[in-house]
Chain A
Amino acid sequence: MEIIAASTEQLLADFESKINAEIKIEPRDWMPEEYRQNLIRQMSQHANSEVIGMQPEGNWITRAPSLRSKKILLAKIQDEGGHGLYLYSAAETLGVSREELIQALHEGKAKYASVFNYPALNWADMGAIGWLVDGAAITNQVSLQRTSYGPYSRAMVKICKEESFHQRQGYEIMWRMMEGTKDQQQMAQDALNRWWWPALMMFGPHDSDSPNSTLAMKWKIKRESNDQLREKFINKTIPQAELIGLKIPDEHLQLLDNETYKHGDINWEEFWAVIKGNGPCNQQRLEHHIRAHQEGAWVRETAIESAQKNKI
């Protein structure tokens, strides 16, 4: 078989014509190095978020108010571990190893969603996280099902199928509390007050302040901009809040027409402070992950020994 080497210009032109024709890029296809790096950054951030996101909720497994809610919470957290694995595997198809991905997280070189650096103070937070944080994540992930990279797109399809229960379980918790005593209603409202703004920040900076986005949009890694996705999220979430009697903690919120809202100013100083490591739980989250990883070393060592023995 004879393969004729093509020039980089030709390869780039072929690559871009595939992108324009909505043909997915697969691991063995030629791709520009910037596309590969951009994907590794975004997908590892996404995978790390799933795994670090297990912590605020894991904190409440032993204190769930009923066996039903405990089983549900366990299943949700297990899903998040699974979603992290789908995404790490998808990132590995780009030639980066699992070990490197974990190491970059531990060294602070790879990020995770800054929303998980906020603490989960009480049971109502389990409601707010499922409803708002998973709700925001789903809005983003539905859009990413159409991302141009095949393995990432397939992981998103699978994750979206599984995540709709996550948001429902959170909203159900909020609803039950709003149907309960005055104290329970106040707990639900407090949790909304604390999680609303961090949830809006999950979509990232305004489009005008998001330099990474241009290339990601051109090559269809991202399909909708930060502001477009944020708008979708608030438009569907505000009526859900109103339905159960919750008040959105934004005094500048405007209803533009029947279905469109405009939110007040986001505190970007807080956003950048949390990203830079100064959120309430940054250190705790990372230290916990490193500790759990180190404490699991014996499991890996035993498995290697056992595999060796079985070979003989």
Chain B
Amino acid sequence: MEAKENQGELWEVFLQTKPGQAFKHVGSVHAFDKNLAIENARDVYTRRGEGTALWVVPSKEIVAVTANEAEYFFEAADEKIYRHPTFYSMPEGVKNM
């Protein structure tokens, strides 16, 4: 099907719900430029005071690892169990560790 009209680029929306917290992906909006993108994101995702800060990012700029690749991509970390605190043995009675 031919697309007859232009409804703008896709932008991903990230919201920080409280100061100090990490930004979280909440969805996406269509917009023609960054000003419209941030205003559309406000109207669509923060009608009830859900956030204190907002980011929008053009979807095409996001670099992703696909689920098919994930197993190979993250494999290296699986072998390095000494990165977890539970790997180490500790003498009985040790405190504040």
Contacts and interface: CB of A to CB of B under 8 A. Distances in A.
Interface of A: 1-3, 26, 28-30, 75, 78-79, 82, 85-86, 89-90, 92, 97-100, 102-103, 154-155, 158, 162, 297, 300, 303-304, 306-307, 310
Contacts of A158: 26-27
B66 interface: yes
Given A79-B47, A303-B33, A99 B3 contact: yes
B3 to A, nearest CB: 4
Interface string B53-97: 000000000001011110011000000000000000000000000
A78 B72 contact: no
Contact of A26 (B3, B8, B44, B67): B67
Interface string B20-52: 000000111111110010000001100110000
A300 B32 CA distance: 8
Determine the interface band of chain B, counting residues with CB < 8 A from chain A.
20 to 34
Nearest to B72: A1
B35 to A, nearest CB: 8
A98 B3 CA distance: 9
A217 B61 CA distance: 36
Given A103-B4, A304-B32, A306-B33, 10 more contacts: A1-B73, A29-B67, A82-B47, A89-B10, A97-B3, A99-B6, A99-B7, A103-B1, A162-B48, A307-B36
Contacts, number: 71
The 3 A-B residue pairs whose C-beta atoms are closest, nearest first, are: A307-B33, A303-B32, A99-B3
23 contacts: A3-B69, A3-B72, A26-B67, A29-B68, A75-B47, A78-B47, A82-B44, A86-B44, A89-B27, A89-B29, A90-B27, A92-B10, A99-B4, A100-B1, A103-B1, A154-B27, A300-B6, A300-B32, A304-B8, A306-B32, A307-B32, A307-B33, A310-B33
